[in-house]
Structure 1
Amino acid sequence: MERKKENVKKDFIDMIEKSWAYDRLTKAERQSLADVFYDVRTEKALKGSYNHRCDILQIIYYSFLKGCGYTDFNWREKEKGGF
């Protein structure tokens, strides 16, 4: 089944919203991430195949998490006080 490149952002956001890292973001951080994903600069950068566009979104998401202090799988452990 071929995936439509026009749907990549929706598919990507649906995927990350189910992830443990996204679950550890605050409400404000989630809104900031949505602002980045729907920014006109992101729209202009999403070019190429479905996989290429997905790679771009992965870079954006990883950079965002690093900016939030992401370290590894222990990041913001809930039993350690979390967020």
Structure 2
Amino acid sequence: MGASARLEFRVSPADRARIEHAAELAGEPTSTFARHAAEERATQILREHEATTHVPARFFDDLFAALDAPGEPNAAFAAAADRLRGMTRD
């Protein structure tokens, strides 16, 4: 499917010349080169953002408090420990 929406931006004459030169070296029209560069950068930024988990600071306080607190064994854990003791030799 072809492009259907326009996106325009202004650049300095020096940046335009640099982009046009790079596009020429890549063998692409300037608009295609600029579009691909913008799409690649957008993909990179979105990937980085999606790879980051954002949580409130309070979450870390609660997490560290839970990690520092001694664990309370539940019935399943106690039963598993009993089975393990039965399988090992002292």
Verify same fold: TM over 0.5.
no
Please, what TM-score do these two structures have when normalized by structure 2? 0.27
Whose radius of gyration is greater, 1 or 2?
2
Higher relative contact order, chain-length normalized (CA < 8 Å, sep 6+): 1
